[in-house]
Structure 1
Amino acid sequence: MSKATASTAAVVERRPAAAPNAKAPRAAYRTRNQFFAFRGTLSRRAQILTSICASLIVIAAWEISTRLGWINSLFLPPPSVTVETLWIMITQKHLLWNAGVSTLRVWVAFTLSVVMAIPIGIAMSSFRGVGAALEPIVDFIRYLPVPALVPLSIIWFGVGETTKIFLLWLGTFFQLVLLVADDMRRVPQEYVEIAYTVGARPFQMLKDVAFRAMLPSLFDNLRITLGWCWTYLIIAEIVAADNGLGFVIWAARRYMNTSEVMAGVVTIGLIGLLTDQILRLVHKRYFRYL
């Protein structure tokens, strides 16, 4: 054996045994650090467990605070009482029927908003003249408080379903149309130039290039504005309503029945949570390339 070979062998023998595994602690540290890393990555399982644990902590703090008297249960009933009241309302007071009525109203108004907002928003951002004509009007109306327009809506449409749908639409459409216009403006100009270079006509470019490019962000904005539509439900259903979750909450408020109020609010939250998760799954299904 040469001197060089013997020297190399001696160095290898003196190397600590733990050296080959030195990267493992650093890798584990990086994995643990992903929880607070800026734009870090978490596994699906970790995300679900974190969501469940955070929700349980909030519920436990709520329950303990009311049971210990830190919060007056007359104004904020504990979760256990709310769940019990929710079950009674489902089995004895037709809560599911009222939830179905409210869901139908929200979706009718939201669908009407989408059908109107998408073409108008695209036109506002695609054609300068249309944008110049409509944007000041849309900006003015979207800042108007919807509750202030309840008396006018009753004068215009009466106290039937039309008024409720109109109020829900009013709170959604003017916000959504500007979001659609912004989505279209964010489509890179390079896409438009390439489409024209390969011979696309204006309508083809708009339909096959620009609209497809804005579709993922448009879907996200639709999901967000659907939540906004639900926030106007109480306002819409206090207008001479005899059904719906807004009516249930408003009627319980008259008698200071806060447990029923909370049960109605929780029902709206659960419907919104379920709907949002379904829309998230649809987004991941159809926009996997993002």
Structure 2
Amino acid sequence: MRAPDINPVPAEKKQRARLWQFRGSLSSRAEIAFGVGGTLVLLLIWELVARSGFANPTFLPAPTRVLSAMGMMITDQKLLWHAGISTMRVWAAFILAAVMAIPIGILMSSYRPVGASLEPVIDFIRYLPVPALVPLSIIWFGVGESTKIYLLWLGTFFQLVLLVADDMRRVPQEYVEIASTLGAKPRQILKDVAFRAMLPGLVDNLRITLGWCWTYLIIAEIVAADSGIGFVIWTARRYMKTPEVMAGVVMIGLIGLLTDQILRAIHRRAFRYL
């Protein structure tokens, strides 16, 4: 018979120890609580710094001023309409990049001649700064929507294709050997074994590169644009309307955060076995 513990550890202490355990886990409620709490603390610090006079309000407006500017822009400057235009541009460029990058990346990692032919070119282009290519994009495509889509695509495709190739390379060789032993043909191995095995990582990388695509929005929408969040931010910058500039930036962040959380939920639901 086991002797009772002389000094039992309280349940709250055990829970606190698990909470701060290295690589521990949190419940959904705890994650939400920490996320909201951290955001509120950051906003409070920002508000206090802006109100205390340590920073010039022209350069660092308080969060309350930014929120007020955002409300005014929604009602008077059609901010939500501009946000919708920007969202459509980002998704158009991102879908185009994904449709091209996924098959190319899979072929690069599956067949070495394809990878050896394309990797040097892709590695070279992905290090080119997108802003430096704006003049060329105007020469090639003019100043219409195609230029904006092209710049967003340019900042996404070459990064994504290498991530897709790495996802395919991470598929264990044992899976391929077992499928070959069972009589599967190369096309079946690629479609039914390798692609299914890389799918969780692929969806996660698509979520990450969508965020990258948003980071090029300002560059794309300063090219003779008359709509979009980038256009709104750039116009406010000319007149030193810092609260409106930051309101536009915050709007981009809110759209990105919402999209990211939706994609995370889809990933968890689709790949519950991970």
**TM-score > 0.5, shorter chain as reference:** yes
Cross-structure match for 1:82: 66
- The match for 2:160 among 169, 176, 183 is 176
Q: SS of 2:273's equivalent?
A: coil
Q: In the alignment, residue 193 of structure 1 is paired with which amino acid?
A: E
What do residues 190-236 of structure 1 show as CA deviations (whole Å, max 9, x unaligned)?
A: 00001111111101000000000000011010000000000000000
- The match for 2:55 among 50, 71, 75 is 71
**Which has the larger Rg?**
1
- The match for 1:103 among 87, 106, 110 is 87
TM-score (ref. length: structure 1): 0.92
Cross-structure match for 1:222: 206
- The match for 2:169 among 165, 185, 191 is 185
Q: In the alignment, residue 257 of structure 1 is paired with which amino acid?
A: K
What do residues 147-206 of structure 1 show as CA deviations (whole Å, max 9, x unaligned)?
A: 000000000000000000000000000000000000000000000001111111101000
Q: How many residues are treated as equivalent by the alignment? A: 274
Structure 2 CA distance for aligned equivalents of residues 244 and 226 of structure 1: 17
Q: SS of 2:19's equivalent?
A: coil
Structure 1 CA distance for aligned equivalents of residues 173 and 221 of structure 2: 45
- The match for 2:188 among 176, 183, 204 is 204
**Is 1:258 aligned with 2:258?**
no
1:83 positional shift: 0.5
Q: Cα RMSD (Å) of the superposition? A: 1.5
Q: SS of 1:183's equivalent?
A: helix
What do residues 38-82 of structure 1 show as CA deviations (whole Å, max 9, x unaligned)?
A: 110111111110101000000000000000011211101110000
Deviates more, 1:65-74 or 1:182-191: 65-74
Deviates more, 1:33-42 or 1:205-214: 33-42
**Is 1:233 aligned with 2:217?**
yes
1:36 positional shift: 2.6
Q: In the alignment, residue 171 of structure 1 is paired with which amino acid?
A: G
Structure 2 CA distance for aligned equivalents of residues 181 and 233 of structure 1: 26
Structure 1 CA distance for aligned equivalents of residues 182 and 268 of structure 2: 31
Cross-structure match for 2:257: 273
Q: In the alignment, residue 253 of structure 1 is paired with which amino acid?
A: R
Tell me, which stretches of 5 or more residues in structure 1 are unaligned?
1-7
What do residues 94-124 of structure 1 show as CA deviations (whole Å, max 9, x unaligned)?
A: 0000000000000000000000000000000
Cross-structure match for 2:30: 46
What do residues 225-265 of structure 1 show as CA deviations (whole Å, max 9, x unaligned)?
A: 00000000000000000000000000000000001000000
- The match for 1:30 among 14, 17, 23 is 14
Cross-structure match for 2:109: 125
Cross-structure match for 1:164: 148
TM-score (ref. length: structure 2): 0.97
Tell me, which stretches of 5 or more residues in structure 2 are unaligned?
none
The percent identity for this pair of structures is 69
